[in-house]
Amino acid sequence: MSSSTTRPGPGATVLSLEGVSKRFGAVQALSDIALDVRAGEVVALVGDNGAGKSTLIKAIAGVHTPDSGTLEIGGKRAKVRGPAEAQKLGVATVFQDLALCDNLDVVGNLFLGREIVKRGQIDETEMERQSWKLLKELSARIPSVRIPVASLSGGQRQTVAIARSLLGDPQLVMLDEPTAALGVAQTAEVLNLVERLRERGLGVLLISHNMADVMAVADRVVVLRLGRNNGTFTVSQTTSQDVIAAITGATNNAVSARAHRRSQQEEAS
Ligand SMILES: Nc1ncnc2c1ncn2[C@@H]1O[C@H](COP(=O)(O)OP(=O)(O)OP(=O)(O)O)[C@@H](O)[C@H]1O
Ligand SMILES: [Mg+2]
């Protein structure tokens, strides 16, 4: 991992969206979305099927061009014209399908397209050394870096995909449903990994349908509903019921009920 990029200090905003909208034909997938992610912060992006989560991630990753709105990466106004440009700007995305090469080993996958070359030869020893170093920093449990990734478990494959995204030295890592297909132990391993990313000072944007995962690992939760912002919660000050109410759009939810109670108390005093 190169250290040439200047990293934003802890708490600095690594991603900031304002008024982002995206329409597909008759479908208004995103309307006027605002979202911030800071360095050293895990933000969960939640919402029902079709709420616009993947579309939003793809708009940030340069897969879709927003119809309107602004995007700042590392405090600078950015126009992301494609996935390669997003990577250059420090945005790494692990899509749900992971896009690993099953027949290549862990080292081959980590360094695919950015092999280390010494005197005209691919330097396997150095790539292997750096692979172990990175996996060790992430406390990842991979038995060998010389086995094809096809023989790894789902959690280990997710780990390899996340480790690979770090080689581009990003300031923001976006993960689309990283625990969706995993068992209990493997989920715990991936959530550990997310915590390592936060410790490294990265901003993490995590899409998840699993409320337990969200409450366990996120600092803040951003809810999308029908393509719009429908609440931002600080995890330490909220319950999963509050978040679920915002996801489903329950009008008489705990948040509005509590706010109502409080305003009545204030009026009475
Ligand atoms: N490429 C596309 N062309 C047309 N419509 C699209 C396209 N991508 C997404 N949509 C529509 O935009 C809306 C938001 O979809 P999106 O995939 O972002 O939802 P999501 O929140 O990721 O849902 P899920 O939880 O099911 O993954 C949906 O109505 C979807 O059908
Ligand atoms: Mg999706």
What is the pTM (predicted TM-score) of this model? Answer: 0.86
> Whose Cα sits closest to atom 30 in ligand 1?
50
d(CA 15, CA 2): 21
Environment of ion ligand 2 (residues, CB < 5 A): 54
CA of 260 to the centre of ligand 1 (A): 34
Q: Ligand 1 atom closest to Cα of 51?
A: 21
Ligand 1: nearest atom to the Cα of 48: 25
Tell me if the domain spanning 13-102+170-268 has CATH number 3.40.50.300. Answer: yes
Which atom of ligand 1 is found nearest the CA of 58? 18
Find the ligand nearest to 55 CA.
Answer: 1
- For residue 54, report the distance from its CA to the centre of ligand 2, in Å: 4
**Rounded distance from Cα 154 to ligand 1 centre (Å):** 25
> Which ligand does the CA of 209 lie closest to?
1
| Per-residue pLDDT, 6 | 58
Give the C-alpha separation, 66 to 198, whole Å: 28
pLDDT tens per residue across all 269 residues of the chain: 444 445 677 789 999 999 999 999 999 999 999 999 999 999 999 999 999 999 999 999 999 999 999 999 999 999 999 988 999 999 999 887 777 899 999 999 999 988 999 999 999 999 999 999 999 888 888 889 999 999 998 888 888 998 998 888 899 999 999 888 788 888 888 899 999 999 999 999 999 999 999 999 999 999 999 999 999 999 999 999 999 999 998 855 555 566 556 666 777 77
DSSP label of 148: B
CA-closest residue to ligand 1 atom 16: 52
Kindly state the tokens that stand for 205. Answer: 């944007």
CA angle 93, 99, 101 (to 5 degrees): 140
Ligand 1 atom 25: the closest Cα is on which residue? 49
b (16+ CB within 10 A) / e for 7-38 = bbeeeebbbbbeebbbeeeeeebbbebebbbb
Give residue ranges with CB within 6 A of ligand 1. Answer: 24, 27, 29, 47, 49-55
Q: How far is the CA of 228 from the centre of ligand 1 (A)?
A: 13
Decide the pairing of beta strands 91-94 and 76-77.
unpaired
Give the atom of ligand 1 at the shortest distance from the alpha carbon of 55: 18
Ligand 1 midpoint to CA 21 (Å): 13
Q: Which amino acid is at 250?
A: A
How far is 36 from 89, CA to CA, in rounded Å?
Answer: 16
Q: What pLDDT, on the 0 to 100 scale, is given for residue 127?
A: 95
Q: Which residue of 23, 28, 55 sits with most ligand 1 atoms within 8 Å of its CB, as the best mutation to test the pocket? A: 55
For ligand 1, mutation pick of 21, 23, 27, 46 (most atoms within 8 Å of CB)? 27
